[in-house]
Amino acid sequence: MTTHKSFSDVIQEHQQVTNQLTSCTPLITAASKLIISSLTSGHKLLLCGNGGSAADCQHFAAELVIRYHKNRRAYPAIALTTDSSILTAHANDFAFDSLFSRQVEALGNAGDCLIAISTSGNSENIIQAAITAKQQNMTVIGLIGGDGGRLKERVDMPIVIPSHTTARIQEAHMLIYHWWCEKVDEVSA
């Protein structure tokens, strides 16, 4: 049986999820402070995700490198999802599970921050990236959905969106990283 949702139904689902984000507010706020501290002290953000979450990585990185609302200095943010030569060489020579961890190994340093995005929390390549980042003394923030999956235990700050609907989780992730961009704008000259 096919269920037909109206646009009003989708809006209602979205509102239910965003209303529940208040339970995540302390962690979201702490993560914003960590991101700002990392960026303003000369460190960088690395971001990884698959599919729509990969697009979110690129979107967030672009807002930090170019600008969000305010003209300000550029901040170093690298979406590990964008270099087709690295991605295809890795796919050819290694397993997909280490796709992002290999890049974290090459690019990440102590004091940097990894933003690991997974709507399920069970993407093995994201989990492996988080493990590698922690081995390199990076802080790991997880934007996760559902029950947090296995990634929840591998990150320093697990921000778990209380939904099992991928689209609603991604909408909440975007709301969060846009707010983080606003906070970066507030402290930037």
Per-residue pLDDT of 110-126, as tens digits, reads 999 999 999 999 999 99
Residue 129 lies in a domain: yes
Which CATH number fits the domain that encloses residue 122?
Answer: 3.40.50.10490
Domains of the chain: total: 1
How buried is 156 (Cβ within 10 angstroms: 0-12 exposed, 13-18 middle, 19+ buried)? middle
Residue 19 lies in a domain: no
Give the C-alpha separation, 125 to 76, whole Å.
23
Residue 84 lies in a domain: yes
Instruction: Give the domain extent around 80.
Output: 29-187
pLDDT at residue 1, as a whole number: 55
Stretch 120-141: mean pLDDT: 98
pLDDT at residue 38, as a whole number: 97
Residue 18 lies in a domain: no
Stretch 19-42: mean pLDDT: 96
Whether residue 131 has pLDDT greater than 80: yes
CB 142 within 8 Å of CB 116: yes
Residue 16 lies in a domain: no
pLDDT at residue 43, as a whole number: 98
pLDDT at residue 2, as a whole number: 64
Residue 8 lies in a domain: no
Residue 166 lies in a domain: yes
pLDDT at residue 4, as a whole number: 85
Q: Report in angstroms the alpha-carbon separations of 34 from 38, 45, 111, 115, 177.
A: 6, 11, 10, 11, 13
Q: Give the number of C-alpha atoms closer than 13 A to the C-alpha of residue 54, restricted to the C-beta side.
A: 12
Work out the pLDDT band at 189, boundaries 50, 70, 90.
low
Residue 22 lies in a domain: no
Quote the tokens at residue 48. 């990884």
Stretch 75-90: mean pLDDT: 96
Work out the pLDDT band at 139, boundaries 50, 70, 90.
very high
Looking at the chain, the whole-number percentage of residues with pLDDT higher than 90 is: 95
